[in-house]
Structure 1
Amino acid sequence: MVAEMKAEQIGRAARTDMQLMVPVRPVLRRGVRMRRAGDSVVLDGADRAQVFSGAFAREGLIPLTEACDGTRGHTELAEKVGFDEATVYKCLALLWTAGAVEEAPSGDEPDVAPEWAVFLSRLGNSTGANLSWADAVTRLADRSVRLEGDPALVAAARRSLEGVPLSAASSGPSGTPGELTVFFETVASAALLAATEERCRQDGRPLLRVRADARAFTVGPYADASLTPCLECGSHGEAELSGELPGHLADLVAGVTAHHVVALLARAAISHLPTDSSVTDVSTLSSVYRPATVRPGCSRCSYTEGPVAPRAPAGSVYEASVAMPPRSFLSPKDHQAHYYASNLRLQAQFKDWPSRRHTPLPAADLAALAAARRPDPSGGGVPLTLESLSTVLKIAFGVKDEESTPERVKRWTAASGNIGCTTAYVVLRDDRVLPPGIYVYAQGSHSLAAVSSQVPDGSAPCEIVVTGDLKKVMTKYGTFGFRLVFLDAGCNLSAAREVAEHLGLAFAPRPDWDDDALARALGTTPADEPVAAVATLGGTA
């Protein structure tokens, strides 16, 4: 998939977004190069292919990167290449997001093998957690790794982790404060894991369990009492160990483990840790990922009292699978996805139901919302009108037309990623508002599109059914988008309640509903457009 980013956009964002940065004394990352290719400029060697297009890229980017030798600041770079400083800033912001430049080391460069420096610099862009490759070396030097468990895998891991501080001890008290213990669990060493886990837990040190047998090897879970579920919760539901790992695979398991250890300690490579475990089939080398999930009732990591559940509920597994990583493991690189051109365009993409009959809604009555006193709906409520329904829908689901531009849509209510991933269906039973039927709110045109003349049973003059536009939100957020649908629906209901109270309308969220019946009435499918909230509007409070 092509991800496009514009220098103007990312340069403007870097001025205000604290999760974006621009190197003060930029230097080209080790192991990468910029080269002309036809009408474009190509970045070779970065963690993913990058192409820069446009007249400025063809004429200006290569001279700028050649001047980025770590000795010049923005002012000196502008003088060197003949650009204004604002242009240099925007270009550097784009080059940093692309993985072309990093911050020059603040002091003397660490004395490490050139291959190691290139690895940390070139792939350090994968997480964006280090300003410079030298920072990754410092992170590694400040931590030590203790290898325990299966002797053959421990020996292979020592070879793979050459250059990483390793503890000489293989048992006994923990060493340095930041020590990470890696335990290789096999049929022969499984009995020793409990003692290692207890020692790490008592000492407050993290533990990475690596499990290997004749069928698969598992990297994880990572157990840290301050960040993650305990080892038992993180590994619950696993099958019994099945035979010994074939000897010729020891180096493979050790190499994969070494990658993730470096990712954990130096933050210079991508890892599924600390939140997930990876299970790799030794025959096909295909991998699946399992989130570490707290089991209800666990005395170590659950707030729920009672017996320990044998398995975590499906909802908990989903929440764990899409949860944000602990703050200390956040990846600034991931944040850049907000500024991909395709994701920015999502905010201005509205459903319009062109084949449906549309009824334009009157302008929202903002003056009524400015009143200090609110009518009391307890006496029966103010009758629902088309004008009041329009105001509720506009504030809860609509956009600020006067303040919106093609580049930036402004909404009345908070929306995840400013996407607008919920849709409001209106079930009307009061013919004084509109002919009874089911309508859908088209926020782009501020109108109601007719869906059906069949009205479900009910006594409320109006019901608002909020559904999630999974196809739209998952374009940017993947499976995490399902969670955002419910967050947005909560914001929609909160805004609708506030507006209804200002207008004196009765408003009540529904605690339960029949998903299948609503899907049939609305003509939707739960897989693409699940119902996230239902509320009644108007009538008696």
Structure 2
Amino acid sequence: MGVELKAEALGRAAGRDKQIAVPVRPVLRKGVRLRRSGDALYLDGADKRQAFTGRFAREHLGRLVDACDGGTTRAGIAAKVGLDEAVVLKALALLWASGALEEGAPSGAPPSDAPSSDAPLSDAPSSVSPELACLLSRLGNSTGVNPSWTDAAARLDRTTVHLAGDRDLVAATARCLDGVVEVVDDLDDLPLDTGALVVFFETRRSRPHLADLRDRCWLERRPLLRVRTDATSMTLGPYVDPTFTPCLECGTAPETHEEPEGYGEPQAYEGYGEPQAYEGYEEPETYEAAADGHALVAGLVAHHVLALSSRSIRTYLPLDSGIVDLTTLATRYRPSATRPGCPTCSFSKGTTAAVAPDSAVYEASIALPVRRFLDTNGHLAHFQSKNMNLQWQFRDWPSCPRVPLPAADVTRLAGAPAPAEDAPGGVGPSDIALLLAVAFGIRERSDGWVQRWTAAGGNIGSATAYLVSRDPSVLPVGGYAYREKDHDLAQLTAEALPGEAPLLLVVAANLKKMGSKYGTFGLRLSFCDGGVALSSARKVADRLNLPYRLVTDWDDRALTTYLGLSAAEEPLTAVMEVG
């Protein structure tokens, strides 16, 4: 199933979200076209195929794109096509997000020899090959970093690369990068700036030279990309930058130690064949890579160097390494994580661990890169229809009896809290209703948005509140789930849970819902949501002078069994005793 974006949602967000940079003087990207087929317009040639549907697309979108010449502003385009400027902004936002448009070049910039040239920026190369200009333009939408292809060309013009290691691979890669970036033969000629990169090709015969180069790059704060090859596979990475990545020894530690069971699943990269498991590095007795093998490795390295430098093409660098099967091109990804005690890149002291612990590997696998390597196009995932609809999805527990709650009286939270000696001794239903509503509930639903009392990652609401009652004066004894959509409780069980606290608030993560948008990163956001919700619950309890105690060591198995939860799909993130 495809991904759907709606002009209305994007246009509404474009006015307040600075990451949605709709072009001021839009122009159609090079190498793309809009093609009519039936009632829809199709975008061909961009980073992904798009279809525009609806009456506006049929009647106006073609004329609107024709008016985007790279020199006319949005107001001028609106006047040309006879549409309201606000409507034009929404349409342009959708076209930009789909990869159809980019920013036109400023007037007075030097010309390019690229066909249908929109002039490059003043600091871009004075002459760019038509093929490269077309590539940077039509694939520039994949990252959302460059307003125009000329910005990417300017980045490449400022990039200098030093290739070292295996001579044959150095020569093959230099040929691929010729005319794209500057390649220097001597490391001393490589400038000390953000546009410089050292690439080392590690093979059996070149490996002895890696240690000295590695140490010098770390000492001089130079970025280093290690490429390891044998007759059957290539490991592209790790990328090592002393300003934000682990050192090379930590990044390559998993290659010399057995990976834990279940560590990472193989994936296909951009359609390059079916995924296969990587069985570990096997050093051949002799290195006998054929000329076409050199060309393949060089081409893959050049692709990712181009991606790192131009920021127009996606790459798993700098945070992950890619292990590529050179026969099938199936690729598996591995993050770099600092080993505790590493004398080079760890803050901890003591014996250096053989490999990083699972927790550090997980954090490394979901980490965001530093700002200059961030792909801003990923922000648009928030506005995909399937993700926006998640805020409207609520669990129901249809077979469970309902227990009504009083309306949440938020006026009780105004003003100063009552002195503790004047507060009632017990917990009442109105207290529980207010606490659950503010920490987990819905404030209002209008204008296409669900507004919550407490912030939630992606406005999804991954934190689910469960209440365990041991005090029949507050609630009949048993376990309950809070239904935030209707502000009531679903009784899951009438059995008693051993313990002394009158009430137990248990927070669980709806991992399936969160993971559908964020993948493995959703686990971290779910724990964050649980902590934020519990903080709100504590603030309400403080305001109402309700006694409570945070539980820092709970029995996962006992609570999940009692509430009928799956620890894999709905892990517990927080527990608090109330009353």
Aligned-partner residue type, residue 24 of structure 1: V
**Correspondence list, 1:127-276, <5 A:** 127-172=143-188, 174-175=190-191, 177=193, 178-239=195-256, 242-243=283-284, 244=287, 246-247=289-290, 248-276=292-320
Aligned to 1:384, which of 418, 424, 427?
427
Amino acid corresponding to residue 390 of structure 1 in structure 2: A
Structure 2 match to 1:347: 391
Is 1:366 the counterpart of 2:410? The answer is: yes
Counterpart check, 1:487 vs 2:528: yes
Q: Deviations over 1:97-156 (max 9, x none)?
A: 000000012222341111100000011110010010000010011110111111111111
Match of 1:21 in 2: 21
Give CA deviations for 1:281-326 in whole Å, capped at 9, x if unaligned: 2343221100111111112222212111111110111111011111
Q: What whole-Å deviation, never above 9, does each CA across 1:364-422 have from its counterpart, x for those lacking one? A: 12122113134438x99731111101111001100103xx2161011011100100011
User: Aligned partner of 2:379: which letter?
Assistant: H
Q: What amino acid does structure 2 have at the position aligned with 1:134?
A: T
Is 1:101 aligned to residue 104 of structure 2? no
Distance 2:35 2:443 in 1: 44
Match of 1:338 in 2: 382
Quote the residue 1:115 is aligned against.
Answer: 131
Does residue 295 in structure 1 map to residue 309 in structure 2?
A: no
Question: SS state of the match for residue 347, structure 1?
Answer: helix
Question: What per-residue deviation string (whole Å, max 9, x for no partner) do you get for residues 427-449 of structure 1?
Answer: 10000011100000000010010
| TM-score using structure 2 length | 0.90
Change (3 A) 1:214 1:523: same
Unaligned regions of 5+ residues in structure 2, if any?
111-118, 120-125, 257-280
Q: Counterpart in 2 of 1:511?
A: 552
- Percent of aligned positions that are identical: 49
Contact 2:160–2:184 (8 Å) recurs in 1: no
Shift of 1:451: 0.4
CA distance in 2, matches of 1:313, 1:258: 33
CA distance in 1, matches of 2:364, 2:168: 33
Read off the aligned partner of 2:138 and give its amino acid letter.
R
Equivalent-residue separation in structure 1 for 2:295 and 2:377 (angstroms): 30
8 Å contact 1:35–1:62 — kept in the other structure?
A: no
Query: What is the distance in 1 between the residues matched to 2:467 and 2:565?
Result: 14
Query: What's the offset of the Cα at 1:455?
Result: 2.2
SS of residue in 2 equivalent to 1:270? coil
- Does structure 2 conserve the Cα–Cα contact (< 8 Å) formed by 1:519 and 1:526? yes
The residue type paired with residue 313 of structure 1 is P
The residue aligned with 2:369 is: 325
User: 1:440 — aligned with what?
Assistant: 481
Q: Which amino acid aligns with 1:492?
A: A
One-letter amino acid of the counterpart of residue 443, structure 2: K
Which structure 1 segments of 5+ residues have no match? none
Let me know the Cα RMSD of the aligned residues: 1.6
Alpha-carbon distance, 1:360 to partner: 1.3
Superposed displacement of residue 350, structure 1: 0.7
- Structure 2: distance between partners of 1:203 and 1:451: 62
Q: TM-score, normalised by structure 1?
A: 0.96
Maintained 8 Å contact 1:143/1:176? no
Give distance in 2, aligned partners of 1:221 and 1:269: 18
Matched, 1:304 2:348: yes
Instruction: Return the alpha-carbon distance in structure 2 between the equivalents of residues 301 and 455 of structure 1.
Output: 51
Instruction: For 2:517 and 2:438, locate their aligned partners in 1 and report how far apart those are by CA, in whole Å.
Output: 25
Q: What amino acid maps onto 1:153 in structure 2? A: L
What SS is found at the alignment partner of 1:35?
Answer: strand
Aligned residues: 535
Aligned counterparts of 2:43 and 2:289: Cα–Cα separation in 1:
41
Q: Which amino acid aligns with 2:307?
A: A
8 Å CA contact 2:467–2:506 kept in 1: the answer is: yes
Contact 1:382 1:503 in 2 (8 A): no
User: How far is the alpha carbon of 1:170 from its aligned partner?
Assistant: 4.1
- AA partner of residue 104 (structure 2): A
- Partners of 1:406 and 1:21 in 2: how far apart? 23
Tell whether 2:105 aligns with 1:85.
Answer: no
> In structure 1, what is the Cα distance between the partners aligned to 2:246 and 2:6?
40
Q: CA separation in 2, counterparts of 1:104 and 1:162?
A: 27
- Aligned residue identity for 1:30: K
1:531 aligns with 2:572: yes
> Displacement of 1:183 after TM fit?
0.6
Contact 2:192 2:222 in 1 (8 A): no
Question: How much does 1:176 deviate?
Answer: 5.4
CA contact (8 A) 2:443 2:451 kept: yes
Q: Which moved more, 1:279-288 or 1:133-142?
A: 279-288
Among 507, 510, 521, the alignment partner of 1:469 is 510
Question: Which of 442, 448, 451 is equivalent to 2:492?
Answer: 451
Aligned-partner Cα distance in 1 for 2:51–2:141: 16
CA–CA separation in structure 1 for the residues paired with 2:550 and 2:423: 17
